[in-house]
Structure 1
Amino acid sequence: MSPDYVVEIMKGLMAHIMMLATPLLLTGMVVGLLVSLFQAVTSLQEQTLTFVPKALAVTTLLFFIMPWMVRTLMDYTKGIFEKIPSMVM
């Protein structure tokens, strides 16, 4: 197995990690921004107020996109396992 092949596998892995994490991170960021904007407009200075909406939004999104995430990870893992014979030779 050549170093170029390992680099190619790692690039694919990083791309999949970013593809799977981005929806959750963006959801948390947008909800946090909206709650912070609401706090600034209403002069509400409660620090724990941002946690509950972010947790609910990310958990709800995770519930809906989990099948896609699992399918994507399984396809990538299956592809890696199918490439093992060509890596050994």
Structure 2
Amino acid sequence: MDPQVVLDLYGHGFYLIIIMVSAVMVPSLIVGLIVSIFQAATQINEQTLSFLPRLIVTLFATMHFGPWLLTTLTDFTNQLFVDIPMIIG
């Protein structure tokens, strides 16, 4: 097996992980920033006020992007299995 093939697979897998995590975490980070600005403006220091909206947005993003995430991961895994003969030989 050529080291370049291994690096390409690693790079593609790492890129896929970053895209999948970003699809769920970026909306949560944006809501967290908005709530933090609201808390700073009103001087309300309640921990649940920042936690609950981020939790709801994260769950919504997981429900919304879940089918796409599953399809993307399944396609990557299927492509790995299809490419096994080429990688080994």
TM-score, reference length from structure 2: 0.95
Counterpart of 1:67?
67
Question: How large is the RMSD of aligned CA atoms in angstroms?
Answer: 0.9
TM-score, reference length from structure 1: 0.95
Once the two structures are superposed, residues 31-75 of structure 1 have per-residue CA deviations (whole angstroms, 9 ceiling, x without a partner) of: 100111111111101123211110100101100110000000011
Instruction: State the alpha-carbon separation in 1 of the partners of residues 19 and 29 from structure 2.
Output: 16
Runs of 4 or more above 3 Å deviation: none
Say which SS state the counterpart of residue 9 (structure 1) adopts.
helix
Equivalent pairs counted in the alignment come to 89
- Taking only the aligned residue pairs, the percentage that are identical comes to 31
Give the partner amino acid of 2:24.
Answer: L
Structure 2 alignment gaps of length 5 or more: none
Alignment of 1:2-81 (within 5 A): 2-81=2-81
Structure 1 alignment gaps of length 5 or more: none
